[in-house]
Amino acid sequence: MPGQERSRMAELSKLKKFYWWIALVGIIFGIILYVQFRVVRNIQYNESIQRTRELTVQVDQMKKERDVLHAQLTRMRGQLENMLAAGSPAPPGKEDIEHAMIFAGITGLTGSGVEVTLQDSSAIQKPGENPNYYLVHDEDILRVVNELKAAGAEAIAVNNQRLTATTGISCSGPSISINKKALVPPFVITAIGSPESLEGALKMRGGVVEFLQYCGIQVSIKKSKNITIPAYKGSIKML
């Protein structure tokens, strides 16, 4: 039976080689999965760092704006005190009053501008994923608002809530709080200004819209010649 033994030994040798190939393929597949997992995790980590940096820059910008406004207010108070000390202060012009009222947000406005709508992601949530990844957050609205301001918007409102120099935008559970009002999606951001300039600033390459869409947020922009922004209805705190 030497021939049968050789045949059996050959089969065993082939079987061992087959098992070795299976083990080798399993090891290679495991390495690929591990590398893919590390790459995905590093991407998510880098996105988180980038988002934090962007928010830090926005906070610093808002602080600078606040300091400028505070300096302007201090200068105007000083001018008023000097005028009062002189005995007969000249009445402010109509344009100055209107500009001050617009800046304070206590008068409604109608004009050309854009309407930006933000909605939660329509993507199907994957098992185990954080549902917050699919929602519009306060920082998303703040990005759009800051871009509109930088593009020259004269007045801005979110879901008919007029934004002023002291308006805060923050998450409040499942809703977003603006002027102490709980707002839910869709979030409609209206702004008065040059429609082309406002739309162009939002849609610039690598800009706000591109970033939000990358995060899965649904964004639509509509230019209009008849945007109405209501007056601020809350109390105004004096500095």
Identify the CATH number of the domain in which residue 197 sits: 3.30.70.1880
Same domain assignment for residues 181 and 226: yes
Q: How far apart are CA 155 and CA 168, in angstroms?
A: 15
> Does 131 lie in the same domain as 59?
no
Among residues 85, 117, 141, which one ends one of the domains?
A: 85
pLDDT at 93: 53
63 belongs to a structural domain: yes
- Same domain? For 3 and 69 the reply is yes
- Residues 24 and 130 occupy one common structural domain: no
Q: Please tell me whether residues 65 and 159 are part of one structural domain.
A: no
3-state secondary structure the chain: CHHHHHHHHHHHHHHHHHHHHHHHHHHHHHHHHHHHHHHHHHHHHHHHHHHHHHHHHHHHHHHHHHHHHHHHHHHHHHHHHHHHHHCCCCCCCHHHHHHHHHHHCCCCEEEEEEEEEEECCCCCCCCCCCHHHHCCCHHHHHHHHHHHHHCCCCEEEECCEECCCCCCEEEECCEEEECCEEECCCEEEEEECCHHHHHHHHHCCCCHHHHHHHCCCEEEEEEEEEEEECCCCCCCCCC
Number of domains the chain contains? 2
- Residue 144 in contact with residue 189, Cβ under 8 Å? yes
CB atoms within 10 A of CB 47: 12
Q: Is 101 a domain residue?
A: no
What is the pLDDT, as a whole number, of residue 65? 72
pTM for the model = 0.60
Q: Which of 157, 154, 162 is nearest to 192 (CA)?
A: 154
Residues in the chain where the model's pLDDT stays below 70: 1-26, 29-30, 32-53, 59, 66, 69-70, 72-74, 76-104, 234-239
Instruction: Tell me the C-alpha distance between 25 and 146, whole Å.
Output: 52
Query: Tokens 């549902």 sit at which residue?
Result: 131
Asked if residue 158 belongs to a domain, the reply is yes
Structural domain of 78 = 1-85
| 204 shares a domain with 166 | yes
Closest by CA to 143, choosing from 128, 156, 162, is 156
Q: Give yes or no: residues 177 and 113 share one domain.
A: yes
Q: Which two tokens stand for residue 64?
A: 């600078």
Q: Is residue 95 part of a domain?
A: no
Same domain as 165, residue 132: yes
pLDDT at 144 (0 to 100) = 96
- 13 with 116, same domain: the answer is no
Q: Which residue has the tokens 């109509």?
A: 94
- Residue 88 makes CB contacts below 8 A (sequence gap 6+) with none
